[in-house]
A and B are shown apart, each in its own frame.
Chain A
Amino acid sequence: MEETITIEKICMLAGKIMLVSGAETNRVEDTMNRIASSLGVKNPQSYATPTGINFSVDVAATTNSLRILKRSTDLHKIAEVNDVSRKLTAGSIPIHEAFRQLKAIERENSEYPAWVQIIAAALVSGCFTIMFGGTWEDFLPALIAGALGFTGMLTFERVVEIRFLAEFFGAFLIGASAYLFVSMGFGNALNMVIIGAVMPLVPGLHITNAIRDLMSGHLVSGLSKGVEAMLTAFAIGAGVAIIYAFV
């Protein structure tokens, strides 16, 4: 009995970290099942959606469930959980050691400090302006607007719990600063500056992940991720459109 509880705990913990870090539901379920099978469970049942996990060791056994409220993208943690699960499946570490490592991964901070991410967002913004056919005159304004928008989103996210509002606010900052820059003669194509600068906020990954989930038969996750992506895109579009409405 003691061991069964541990198997469930370790599977739930691994699944939770992966889901919170933005792994596809397919991968989450696969990892949980693999860990369970390697610990001798014959028929593990796992069901993951973006907002929660269900897991039981057998069809009629007690089911454990876990609610997930906050999600972000943290590939570093996915890689580490994958590593632990691989070691556990290979039998090179015992179960309590794996559990301890997973706990440590859960507590870890993100791989990069906020200022590095802001610089990255700025560079991404500038580069996308060029990739989408903007001129070099638009590079610097996009870079600065992108950095401002991303910083605004990060700070606002700490104050307000609702993510869409933070994205709305970030997009609003981008629109306002881009408009100011262009009207001052710093950069010439407003549209190009904005499109580059909003790229770090745009939910491109969620759209693609949603369709991938739908295609692999994870209908619930696919639909909910798609809706999340739509809402984010709407928040960004609306944040920028306020600027267009006033000029």
Chain B
Amino acid sequence: MVITQLITSFIAASGFGILFNAPRNSLIQCGLVGMFGWILYYFLVERGMDVVPATIFAAILVALLSHICSRYYKMPIIIFNVSGIIPLVPGGIAYNAMRHFVENDYYTAIQLSTQVILLAGGIAIGLMFSEVVNQVVRKVGRLRG
């Protein structure tokens, strides 16, 4: 079961890399970043954690890995970030929410939309958090140096 999740999330993340026209030599890294993020999320949710904090932790992991990749391969971080975060993005729920709106089921639709906003906010917080840590590390290093 976990192996299925690993393989599908790898293909999904690198497939999105192709849809977003990521450079050819970054596709495998994109897939790996997405895979690790999704697996962390999957484990946390399996262990009974709520989806929002699980998304935040997974997003932090994705951002950290993207930072490492962008340093190592000298490419802008957005390449790894964007494809890596895709499995966590609440696209499915966003679509579901809109479907309920269109079907006049406003009660469920509002609930789902709120969840979308929270999850998107969680992803943004996760991404920002690692950026802030990165900046702080750099600034502290400069102060010491």
Contact = CB atoms under 8 A, between A and B. Distances in A.
Interface stretch (A47-55, A57-65, A73-81): A73-81
Nearest to B16: A124
B116 A241 contact: no
Q: Which of B90, B96, B97, B125 has the most CB of A within 10 A?
A: B96
A24 interface: yes
Q: Which of B9, B95, B102 has the most chain A CB atoms closer than 10 A to its own CB? A: B95
B19 A117 contact: yes
A238 B99 CA distance: 7
Interface of B: 4-5, 8-9, 11-12, 15-24, 26, 38, 75-76, 78-79, 82-83, 85-87, 89-92, 94-99, 101-103, 116, 120-121, 123-125, 127-128
B98 A236 contact: yes
Given A24-B78, A128-B12, A207-B89, 15 more contacts: A77-B21, A79-B76, A120-B15, A124-B16, A127-B11, A198-B91, A198-B95, A202-B95, A204-B86, A204-B89, A207-B94, A212-B124, A212-B127, A237-B101, A241-B98
A187 B56 CA distance: 33
Nearest to A136: B4
Q: Helix, strand, loop or mixed for chain A's interface? A: helix
A66 B116 CA distance: 33
A117 B18 contact: yes
Given A117-B18, A127-B15, A130-B4, A195 B95 contact: yes
A120 B15 CA distance: 5
Contacts of A75: 17, 20-23, 78-79, 82-83
Contacts of B9: 127, 131
B78 A208 contact: no
Interface stretch (A7-15, A35-43, A108-116): A108-116
B21 A74 contact: yes
A22 B76 CA distance: 13
20 contacts: A73-B21, A77-B21, A78-B76, A79-B23, A79-B26, A82-B75, A82-B76, A111-B22, A112-B18, A123-B12, A124-B15, A127-B12, A128-B8, A195-B96, A204-B91, A233-B97, A234-B102, A237-B98, A240-B95, A241-B98
Given A24-B78, A111-B22, A121-B15, A208 B95 contact: no
Nearest to B9: A131
B90 A207 contact: yes
A207 B116 CA distance: 9
Nearest to B92: A195
Given A75-B20, A82-B75, A131 B102 contact: no
A23 interface: yes
A132 interface: yes
Residue of B11, B26, B125, B128 ringed by the most chain A CB atoms within 10 A: B11
Contacts of A236: 95, 98
A234 B95 CA distance: 8
Given A111-B22, A127-B8, A211 B124 contact: yes
A27 interface: yes
Contacts of A202: 89, 91-92, 94-95
A205 interface: yes
A241 B20 contact: no
